[in-house]
């Protein structure tokens, strides 16, 4: 470990290249970075932290940890309808950090920067006696006043979700050795869904002015819909049979190792959950096609409060847990 | 510990009030926050992390930890000449976190929000098996293109520093039981300087258009001047006898328990170090008076590279270390 680079060499070697396309980052050599959102735009900011052993596993590949860190924040920007601009990372590195880990981590960031059109603007690297602890602040922009909020859902609105639900939770179960009977490709697919969220930035960008409320599914479908209901002062019902499932999740349900109730309360999917007025279906499907992202209508908004999960007879399905608790 | 609030209650009780004056924070109940820098302004962003046992001591009062976390970032904004706007915090709380600690931490933030005109915009609270780990991103604004950089120092410029140098490093020595012979008031003063930096925001704001380069002193006077020299491709000399000392630091030097070389390489002072053309002294002193912050001329910029610390005979003083290494 004695050949490891010091802080400034580490920044110059691995992180400054990630800021190379961003003139406001000043080569990561100044006290702070500058950023110009352009006339008429508001800045959108969000931050999330990940801790080794809590949010990712010690064996997770470094590039997938980088992806997860960046993408959970990109998902928050997507849920606001914001266009990504820059991000800042703070890393608390454990005593035994290895340079090849940092190199792979930076490689994961570089790859995602290309995919999501975002650049590094700064950060901080420190030492910790504890586990690897990462924090990322993502900054985007929206035309002023047009950001997607959680507050606008109305009774009568339809409820939509992107992609497929439950995969990340099942992937974590596979990694923990707690889900048997699936094929190797299905197992690999679910693990990748856990490790590498797909933030729906291209969809969120197109939902501005159409969706009445939006959130990304991080705590679980039921819990996050509950946040929309609380903020919008409405209730909502999800038709369990309409929840979009991947072939791998469908296989687990068919084999009886997963339930729709479990899938509706599993976290970490980072799909977009949104509400839109009735009659917007055709337009929304066109938008989804343009984004290259599938969407599905899964329920509706009503008066009252709280979230109900309904079976095919419109009977409420009892839930053991409402979603992920952070501590 | 079983009565501790959950994540959402913790946010609602202690952190949402810190965002109450910031309509763009959306009550900390949405996916992200919005921010409008106003026409003609650029955003300035910076992030720093603090780890218990590394950057602050387990016994440091919670409100002073909050102050340090916010103020080290405010100091970076000051070094860019930026006006503070909002901040985001991510907290990784150890398993045995206590609600009264969080309450005192939030109280420290509230007090500093008033002092420095900054508001909370968001963040994340997670759990860690390791030590308390804090990360803060501060966001400010400057008229576009007018930010203070490290790159503009010219041979012939004079070198200035705000406040007094070396106090924080001596305060850390007091806390570690490694500095004897000082009076109780001097010890208390130095400890407070270590725990509670004074970011020179009011001075940085007034230095735009006047200072040719600026940095905040976090790694130590010599090391940070070295950063300016590297970025500006110049050399510099500090007159050790001109370094402004507090009465407490002066007492330690007079007693022989501290040296000017040690003071010039101690970190964590968070004073502003800046360069300005010759002949600006009267104007700079007027600006300093208006800011309520003392400044001192401590040396000059020349051709070449590197930093020399000179005694009263202009003989170079040998340095054991060039400044703080982060790991």
Q: Would you call A122 and B42 a contact, using CB atoms and an 8 Å cutoff? A: no
Compute the nearest-CA separation of B254 from chain A (Å).
34
Q: Fill in the DSSP letter of residue A23.
A: G
Which residue has 């080569």 as its token pair? Answer: A27
Per DSSP, what are the bridge partners of residue B92? B126, B133
Q: Which of B35, B88, B215 sits opposite A31 (nearest CB)?
A: B215
- Going from the C-alpha of B133 to that of each of A123, A126, B50, B52, B270, the distances in angstroms are 15, 10, 6, 6, 21
Q: Is B6 on the interface with A (CB under 8 A)?
A: yes
Average pLDDT, chain B: 93
The answer to whether the Cβ–Cβ distance between A127 and B215 falls below 8 Å is no
pLDDT digits (tens, 9 = 90+) for B187-207: 999 999 999 999 999 999 999
Beta carbons of A133 and B133 less than 8 Å apart: yes
- pTM, rounded to two decimals: 0.92
Return the structure tokens found at A167.
């995969």
**Dist CA B37 CA B59 (whole Å):** 38
Secondary structure (3-state) at A246: coil
Which B positions 180-199 lie with beta carbon below 8 A of chain A? none
Confidence at residue A324, expressed as pLDDT on a 0 to 100 scale? 52
What does the DSSP 8-state code read for residue B17? G
Tokens of A109: 């960031």
Contact B48 A327 (CB under 8 A): no
Work out the pLDDT band at B327, boundaries 50, 70, 90. Answer: very low
ipTM of the complex: 0.91
On chain A, the residues whose CB falls within 8 A of the CB of B128 are: 51, 54, 130-131, 133
CA dist., res. B259 & res. B320, Å (int): 11
SS3 B21: coil
Integer Cα distance of A193 and A187 in angstroms: 10
Q: Does A17 touch chain B (CB under 8 A)?
A: no
Which positions in chain A touch B77 (Cβ < 8 Å)?
31-32
Q: How is residue B107 written in tokens?
A: 């109280």
Task: Please answer whether residues B167 and B189 qualify as being in contact, where contact means their C-beta atoms are separated by less than 8 angstroms.
Answer: yes
Q: pLDDT by residue (tens digit) across A86-136?
A: 999 999 999 999 999 999 999 999 999 999 999 999 999 999 999 999 999
**What is the β-pairing status of strands A306-310 and A235-239?**
parallel
pLDDT tens string B44-65: 999 999 999 999 889 889 999 9
**What is the pLDDT, as a whole number, of residue A93?**
95
Say if the Cβ atoms of A123 and B36 lie within 8 Å: no
- Over residues B168-184, the pLDDT tens digits come to 999 999 999 999 999 99
B contact test, residue of A10, A137, A203, A207 with most B CBs within 10 A = A137
For every residue of B33-47, DSSP letters joined together read EEE---TTEEEEEEE
User: Which of A103, A100, A101 has the alpha carbon at shortest distance from A17?
Assistant: A103
CA distance A6 to chain B (A): 7
C-beta of residue B273 within 8 angstroms of C-beta of residue B159: yes
3-state SS class at A144: coil
Split at pLDDT 50, 70, 90, the class of A327 is very low
pLDDT tier at B153, thresholds 50, 70, 90: very high
Share of chain A above pLDDT 90, in %: 83
User: pLDDT tier at A2 (50, 70, 90 boundaries)?
Assistant: low
What are the pLDDT digits (tens) for B237-295? Answer: 999 999 999 999 999 999 999 999 999 999 899 999 999 999 999 999 999 999 999 99
Q: Is B177 touching A (CB cutoff 8 A)?
A: no
Give chain A positions within 8 Å (CB) of B26.
Answer: 149
**What's the per-residue H, E or C state across B259-285?**
CHHHHHHCCCCCCEEEEECCCCHHHHH
Residue B79 contacts A where some CB pair is shorter than 8 Å: yes
């Amino acid at each position: 470990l004695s050949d490891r680079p010091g802080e400034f060499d580490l920044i110059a070697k691995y992180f400054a290249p990630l800021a190379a396309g961003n003139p406001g980052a000043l080569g990561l050599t100044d006290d702070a970075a500058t950023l110009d959102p352009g006339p008429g735009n508001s800045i959108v900011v969000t931050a999330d932290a990940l801790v080794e052993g809590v949010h990712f596993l010690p064996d997770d590949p470094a590039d997938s940890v980088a992806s997860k860190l960046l993408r959970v924040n990109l998902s928050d920007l997507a849920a606001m309808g914001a266009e990504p601009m820059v991000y800042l990372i703070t890393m608390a590195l454990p005593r035994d950090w290895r340079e090849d880990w940092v190199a792979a981590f930076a490689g994961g960031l570089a790859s995602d920067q290309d995919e999501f059109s975002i650049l590094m603007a700064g950060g901080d690297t420190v030492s910790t006696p504890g586990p690897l602890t990462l924090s990322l602040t993502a900054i985007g922009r929206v035309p002023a006043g047009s950001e997607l909020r959680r507050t606008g859902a109305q009774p009568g609105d339809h409820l939509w979700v992107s992609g497929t639900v439950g995969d990340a939770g099942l992937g974590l179960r596979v990694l923990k050795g707690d889900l048997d009977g699936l094929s190797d490709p299905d197992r690999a697919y679910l693990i990748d869904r856990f490790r590498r969220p797909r933030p729906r930035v291209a969809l969120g960008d197109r939902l501005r002015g159409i969706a009445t409320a939006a959130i990304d599914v991080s705590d679980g479908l039921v819990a996050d819909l509950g946040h929309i209901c609380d903020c919008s002062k409405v209730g909502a019902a999800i038709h369990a049979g309409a929840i979009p499932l991947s072939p791998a999740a469908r296989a687990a349900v068919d084999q009886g190792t997963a339930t729709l109730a479990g899938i509706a309360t599993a976290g970490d999917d980072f799909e977009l959950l949104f509400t839109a007025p009735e009659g917007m279906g055709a337009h929304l499907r066109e938008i989804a096609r343009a984004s290259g992202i599938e969407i599905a209508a899964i329920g509706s908004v009503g008066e009252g409060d709280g979230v109900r999960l309904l079976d095919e007879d419109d009977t409420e399905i009892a839930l053991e847990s409402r979603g992920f608790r952070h501590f």
